[in-house]
Structure formats: C-alpha cells, structure tokens
Structure 1
Amino acid sequence: MGHSDLDPAVHERRPWNAGQNVGPKRPLKPRDIWAIRFFLDEHKRVRDRALFDLAIDSKLRGCDIVKIRIGDIVSGGTLRNRATVIQQKTGRPVQFEIMSEASRSLTAWLERRGGTIRDFVFPSRIDYLGHLSTRQYARLVDEWVSAVGLDKREYGTHSMRRTKASLIYKATGNLRAVQILLGHTNIENTVRYLGVDIDDALTLSERTEV
C-alpha cells in the first residue's frame, strides 16, 4: 500500500538514504591498492586477491566481472595478456589488459580452482556451477576497503571500475582512451563518470604552451 504525501506518517518516516553516501563512489589511490593486496596476501585470500586484481585491470562492472569464464582469460592453457568480454549493460564487446600482478594472482587462483574453459573463474559458494553473485562481490569490496581503514560508505564495486580509469586520465588527460577502455557509448558518460570539471580542464590546458 502506498502513502499520500498529505499523510503525517510520510513526513515522520526516515529517508531510506539518511546517513548514506549515495553519490559516485571514490576510486582507490595507488597506496590503497597496495594496502588491500598486502591484506589479502597476509590472510592467504588467493581467490580474493585474483578477483581484486582482475577488477582493477579489467575496469568492468560487477555484473560482468562475476560472469567471466576461464576461457575468456585463458587460451591454450596460458593466461592471456588481453581479453575481451561482452558487456551485459550495452551488449558491446570491451577489451582489457591483464598486467603482471593480476597475471600472477589469477594463475595462483586457477591452479587451486581447477575447472574447464566453460567454468566461471569465480564460482558461487552455493552452486559451484554458477558464478559469484554481485551481492557477494559487493560485500567483499566492503570488507577489503574496511580492512585498510577506508570508509566503506565512500567505496564500492564501482570504485574498482573507476580506479585505473581515473589514474589513466590523470596521467594522460586522454578522455577518448578512457571512454574506449570503459566501453562507454559516448564521451559525455565518461566525463560524468570521472567527475571531470572545469579545474581538470584548466589544468590540462595549462600543460600546453602555445
């Protein structure tokens, strides 16, 4: 049953987002990345270390990360340097690189995990033939950031997606490259996603002397 805006009870109800940060989630800084890696290694969380590294490198949404199959990142028994997946949201393919840290952690995880190329890289705890749920992935991210002293209200699965993209943008100022890497259909989405503002634009302009 709904409520009328004129009902006194409506104005007494606490907003669902009271006390929560519902804006864009912050990207991780390099020191945060290494702090999380150290935490996961120290606690021998092999799966989580592989998931974290792949999330950073791939820049994929959570719904795409959890559905990656072994065959997407492995060819001929060897981990690929680059992989391609079809995004659930857009239905378009996007490529990503697998760097040395992710390569090492994924290799260690897949050796323990086993499976065939048709299996998911990160299986569900309940249904081993299924994949890790996006809700469980979100819980893991909350745990990782909290473990290194970050406020989990300010970070989430989109922090994993934004981290490397933000670092690339800050290093190069190349919005088009970031748009391609994130798989955005238009550059305005990338501008909003990165939170590019007038200060960023002026800083980039000041680097170029004519």
Structure 2
Amino acid sequence: MPWGAEDLPPLSVEDARSIDRYLAMLAAERGAARNTLLAYRRDLEEAARRLARLTHATGESLRALESVWADLAPSSLARKSSALRGFFAFMEAEGVRPDNPSSCLPKPAVRRPLPKILGHEAVDALFAAIDARLAKDPVNPLDMRLSALIELLYGSGLRASELVSLPARALAADRPFIILRGKGGRERLVPISDRARAAVARWREHLPEDALYLFPAGKSFLSRVRLFQIVRALAAEAGLDPSKVSPHVLRHAFATHLLEGGADLRALQAMLGHADIATTQIYTHVDAARLVALVNARHPLVDLAPRRA
C-alpha cells in the first residue's frame, strides 16, 4: 500500500491519548530529554497515522513499516524502532493490550561513529587566539566571556545546553566543582579547573548584580546556536577549519585528552554524565603508536632478557 505524506489519515483520539500517556511516563519516570520526547512524538504519530490504529497494531501491520523505512539511515531506523518498542511495552504493562507485537519491528545494527578529534595543537591555537584578545588594552568584556566559555567547554566537558544555561552563581570561588542536572535529569559532579574559575571570575565582574544566568542574552541565556557561531568564529581566527570545530568537538577533546593522560574510564563517565559506560568507550580511540609505546615502557616483561634461540 503506497503511503504518501499527504495521504495519511489524521491521528485517532485513542492513539493521541496513548502517545501522550507514554511520553508523560518517559518524562516523569525516566527523565527523558525534551529533544528525545519531541523525536519520539514525531515517530509515534507518523506510525499511528500510517497504521490507523497504533494502540492495537498487529505484528503483520508493523512489518509493513519496514518497506516504508527502507531508505532511512540506520540511526533513524533505530530511533523509530526504539520509540515503538517502548510504546508497546508501556501499553502491555498498563493492561491496554495483552501482548507486545514489537518483536516484528526491524532491529538495525547501528555502528556508533567515532567522535571528531581535535588535537592538542589545535586546542593550543584556540587559546592563543583568546590570549591575543585578552592582551588588548582595554579588554573587551565579550572577550572575557569568550574565555570563560571556552575554558568551561574544554576544561570541564560540559554539554552546550548545560554551559549556556548555567546560573549566574553556579561557580563558587572556593569550590573546584559544580553539581549539574544534565541529560535525562541525572545529577553529576563536574570538576572546574583553576583556569576556568579565574576566567569566570573575570567575566562575572561585568555581569549585572541581578543577572540570572552566567551567560545572559536578553531575558534568557545565550542560545546554543549563538555558542556554535562563537566557537566557529574563534576557530577561523585561530587558523583552523571552522567546519571541524564546535562546542561538542571541544567536549570530545576534553574526554579524549583526559584518557590520553591516563584518566580512568569510569571517572570520565561520571564527569561526562553518560548513563552507559559503552557511550564513554568511544573515547578509547587513542593513537596506536602511543599504545605500543605504553606496552614497551610498562609491560612487566620489558625488563626480562630476551630468550636466545
């Protein structure tokens, strides 16, 4: 049956209510992020319109979705399948239906991509560009803001959304850490370097006393889009390819460089706020030459004389 977007029937009242209940549960009980809830709503409502009766869909009707999704990227297919699996599990648990037909959904094997890597020299170039700005007399307050933003991004591995929404008094001069409520509503302790605290202290001198946010913009805080633009502009100024530098790439650099320096994977997981250690393990892509050098220097057999034939 060909399904064009313009041919889809409207969402039924029952499916709309079921989807609302499921998403409310995800938000209240599992702390699902807003972007996750929005994506799941789109996926579930599209499936409901294609199937006409999502709440009471059969395995056979779910198998029909596979042809509709044939051209999707594996990551998109995995997300749609995940949304539907969770929905049907919830419907079964709530007693709305006696079974769970989601075993008929496709199970794509999604290969987690390696993060973009920013080397030490590139990071040094970014901070050199910032230092050149701060050396001017008088110093532009926006350059102090830039310094605080980059120090926190690279020095603490904050997500862009966590960084821009920091309260004005989130960092205390005598406390080398902050407690954040990050993705999924999970709280974590984030170490703050002396450099970052000093940069924030300089920037905070220019904040109004009644400022609600550390990086205000109008009545709210700096947007993630604006932060992205600021980081890209700094990259260009530092002689780097702007397309390869972003707030998230700086978070990747924080993680990668800590691991290269000998940080414990579990400690890194806690600092980054990953629910699953498997997510943190993508940062173990250290240089092969460094691993060889490490084995040659640290392996217990290194000091033993080689066997003679």
Does the TM-score normalized on the shorter chain lie above 0.5?
yes
Tell me whether 1:84 sits opposite 2:179 in the alignment: yes
The root-mean-square deviation of aligned C-alpha atoms, in Å, is 2.7
Q: More relative contact order in 1 or in 2 (CA 8 Å, sep 6+)?
A: 1
Q: Which residue of 2 aligns with 1:196?
A: 285
Higher relative helix content: 2
TM-score (norm 1): 0.75
Tell me whether 1:60 sits opposite 2:158 in the alignment: yes
Tell me whether 1:110 sits opposite 2:199 in the alignment: no
Q: Secondary structure at the match of 1:90?
A: helix
Offset of residue 173 of structure 1: 5.3
Aligned with 1:32 (options 95, 110, 125):
125
Aligned with 2:273 (options 183, 201, 206):
183
1:23–1:184 CA distance, 2 compared to 1 (3 A):
closer
1:54–1:173 CA distance, 2 compared to 1 (3 A):
closer
Q: Tell me if the contact between 1:179 and 1:190 (Cα under 8 Å) persists in the aligned partners.
A: yes
Query: Quick check: which has more Rg, 1 or 2?
Result: 2
Gaps in structure 2 of 5+ consecutive residues: 6-112, 301-309
Determine the C-alpha separation between the residues in 1 that align with 2:126 and 2:233: 14
Residue by residue over 1:63-88, the C-alpha shift from the partner in whole angstroms, topping out at 9 and shown as x without a partner, is: 111010023213xxx4532111100x
Q: Which amino acid aligns with 1:171?
A: G
> How many residues in Structure 1 have an aligned counterpart in Structure 2?
182
Q: Which residue of 1 aligns with 2:167?
A: 69
Tell me whether 1:209 sits opposite 2:307 in the alignment: no
Aligned with 1:121 (options 214, 238, 241):
214
Determine the C-alpha separation between the residues in 2 that align with 1:147 and 1:198: 28
Q: Tell me if the contact between 1:142 and 1:152 (Cα under 8 Å) persists in the aligned partners.
A: yes
1:143–1:27 CA distance, 2 compared to 1 (3 A):
same
Q: Which residue of 1 aligns with 2:255?
A: 165
Residue by residue over 1:113-137, the C-alpha shift from the partner in whole angstroms, topping out at 9 and shown as x without a partner, is: 1334x7110001xx2x300000000
Residue by residue over 1:37-89, the C-alpha shift from the partner in whole angstroms, topping out at 9 and shown as x without a partner, is: 32441463111111111222221110111010023213xxx4532111100x2
Determine the C-alpha separation between the residues in 2 that align with 1:51 and 1:134: 12
